[in-house]
A and B are shown apart, each in its own frame.
Chain A
Amino acid sequence: MKKLIGIVGSNSKKSTNRQLLKYMKKRYSEIDEIELVEVSGLPIFVKTEDMEIPMQAERMLEKIKKADGVIVATPEYDHSIPAILSSALAWLSYGVHPFLDKPVMITGASFGNLGASRAQAQLRQILDSPEIKARVMPSSEFLLSNSLKAFNNNGFLTDTQQVKWLDSLVADFNEFINISTQLTNTHKDDETNLNDFSGDEGANNKEVIN
């Protein structure tokens, strides 16, 4: 049994991305223990005096550190991930590195036809940045389009094709987590580098405050 964290990338009460993660939590409860965490409530990222991060981010940090893998479910706002999810990732890479070499699977749900495709592509680049350095599962898009109509009243995905594809992806993700534990050669160097890394703009405030 693997322990996974499912990050709900939207702060909307009616989020279909939350619905998707809840569905996954239920459906895969025999192979994975999925715990949902919310980005809703986090402040917009801003550099702080002593690189302190909000309590909510601190709690997320601890959960991600302990988890075997992370699923990020993102909607698409203006062809990219929501500011609130971007903010969460900024807090979670501000002097802390819970994502370093952490296996990550990206899913996305959108009301329209494209299923957050462009947001997912950007999210992939973001998670690959030197401050985050997650191990995003390659070739594994899950785009849930027309998400308002995708679930029935009990919260089940109704499209059997989609369900089958999701089953395969989750099975692959579990394998990917296993494989990732063997990719350890760069981990030590990365950790050292990240601890010295001062970010692009005042991530380390000591350098910019006169």
Chain B
Amino acid sequence: MRLVAIAGSIGKTSYNRMLLEFMVKKYKNLVEIELVDISELPVFTQDNDLSDSVAIQNVYQKVFSADGVILATPEHNHTVPAAMKNMIEWLSYKLHPFTGKPVWIVGASYYDQGSSRAQLHLKQILESPGVNAFVMPSNEFLLSNAKSAFDEDGNLKDTRTIKFLDSIIEKFLHYVKVIDLLDTPDPRTSEDEDLDAKNPVNTTIENVNMKSDEWVENASLKVHAVDGSTYVKLDRGILTVNQINYFLNSMPMELTYADDNNQFIYYNHNVPDSKMLAARVPRQVGSPLSQVHPERAFNHVKKVIHALRNGTELVGMPVSGNNNDIHVMHYYKAMRDENGRYRGVNEWVLDIMPIIKYYLSVTGQKLVKDEQVDKISPIFGLDVITGASVKNNESTDSFKSASKHENDETKNNSITESEIGIEIGKLLNSGGNIATEGVQPEGVKRSNQQLSKEVNVENSSDNDVDVVSGASEN
């Protein structure tokens, strides 16, 4: 979690800034707080829109990307300082970084009132429609008699005051999480999943046409996205944007990111679509999921997403057309933030046969039929939707249970290979296989058989395995 803190007074000496500096220091093991300076902002006027100036963009970006904001206000003439109000006017005109942002107001003043009235004004201001912040209710922190409140090292002297501040920051960190939930999409049923991505979340880049071929370029401009050799701090490490690209593009699988608003926002683009197991083209990125799936697959896409959104961690399924040389799997992994909130699906596509062949080759084994095997559904991660047994030929569009233990019917009915074949075939014929139809560009759609053939030619997987196992024997 990352917070920004802004002191409303811009004078050389400010007890409100001292208070924030103390908090940065005191809570550094609890949360990262960055102090943002607003003393260089131009005077707000509607006649000369400077929303794109460096000074304003700087403050905007910091507030926009923060999980929460702490505002420290003194009191001038019973109200907030003009400098604080000026900053808010810039950030409520063309730019609106405070929308839905959790804000905690604190204040220090010379006398007993401790900026009480300024805090009330600030609360009103932050709740106006152009600002639309979520100000934390109650929990007022008023530091009165600020002149004598700090010691020489800038630490608050009174232990009871510190204890009180400790208790409020804990509450604020909770408040940030609670407010985040307000923004969380929560469709009741899988049918309510919005594949048109019309319910923006707090990471959605708004006012950019999702269906544009240049969505990536347009959206990047909009948020001033960094690229190239800019460093990005990750958990755990630091990489430049280029390094992140090298890293993701060398992953031994095709990766796709669809966010919690069901918008397709990324894939690791390292080969042309003709060489991909599940073809994607650059111009598709940014599209709502409804744009990159055929309509007959919508129900199944919705079911997978809804399961992931509501606690399922992983869904997997093979494509049709798999044979002894190629076994392409699509995996859908739920991504969640540190609060457990669903943040999208990480789809990876890979051919698992090279791995199997490598293993067999290295250990000197071969594949034989197992007549006693307790067969499971090739599709896992989705609960049985109709409750129909796998033998039930009417259950044409039901996904079967992931676990062989969770459904007695499944367990008791041993499944023959041909039955599974039928089931998958039915799924495919009914448009049920999300895997194969995944995110496919118009015009580059082709039958699964064709795809498999192409892949076979590309891979010549026998040779690959030989090379690998040969190397390991040396």
Interface residues, chain A, CB within 8 Å of chain B?
Answer: 11-14, 40, 42-47, 77-80, 82-84, 86-87, 89-90, 93, 118, 122, 125-126, 128-129, 131-132, 198-202, 207-209
Residue among A43, A128, A129 with max Cβ neighbours from chain B (10 Å): A129
Contact A45 B79 (CB under 8 A): no
Name the CB-closest residue of A to B41. A44
CA distance A71 to B84 in the complex (A): 25
What's the dominant secondary structure at chain A's contact region? loop
A40 to B48 Cα, complex, angstroms? 12
10 closest pairs, A vs B, by CB?
A87-B82, A83-B86, A129-B78, A79-B128, A47-B11, A83-B85, A201-B74, A86-B82, A78-B128, A129-B77
Instruction: Check A202 against B11 for contact (C-beta < 8 Å).
Output: yes
Give the interface size bracket for B toward A. 35 or more
Q: Which of B107-115, B169-177, B209-217, B365-373 contacts A (4 or more CB under 8 A)?
A: B107-115
Q: Are A78 and B109 in contact (CB under 8 A)?
A: no
Chain-A contact segment, one of B119-127, B156-164, B251-259, B455-463: B119-127
Excluding A83-B89, A84-B82, A199-B110, 17 further A-B contacts by CB distance (< 8 Å) are A12-B45, A12-B47, A46-B10, A78-B88, A79-B125, A80-B124, A80-B128, A83-B82, A86-B79, A122-B79, A126-B79, A128-B78, A200-B76, A200-B113, A201-B75, A201-B108, A202-B9
In terms of DSSP, what is the predominant structure of the interface of chain B?
A: loop
Contacts of B109 in A (CB 8 A): 200-201
Does B77 contact A78, Cβ atoms closer than 8 Å? no
Binding site for A on B (CB under 8 A): 9-16, 39, 41, 43-47, 74-83, 85-86, 88-89, 92, 108-111, 113, 115, 117, 121, 124-128, 130-131, 146-147
User: Which of A44, A83, A90, A118 has a CB less than 8 Å from the CB of B77?
Assistant: A90
Q: What is the bound-complex CA distance between A84 and B81, given in angstroms?
A: 11
Q: Which residue of A lies closest to B90 (CB)?
A: A83
Choice from A40, A80, A131, A209 contacting B45 with Cβ under 8 Å: A40
- Whether the Cβ atoms of B146 and A201 lie closer than 8 Å is yes
CB distance from B298 to the nearest CB of A (A): 42
Q: Are A200 and B111 neighbours in the complex by a CB distance under 8 Å?
A: yes
Q: Tell whether, in the assembled complex, residue B117 and residue A78 are in contact, meaning their CB atoms are under 8 Å apart.
A: no
Measured between beta carbons, the chain A residues less than 8 angstroms from B12 are 47, 209
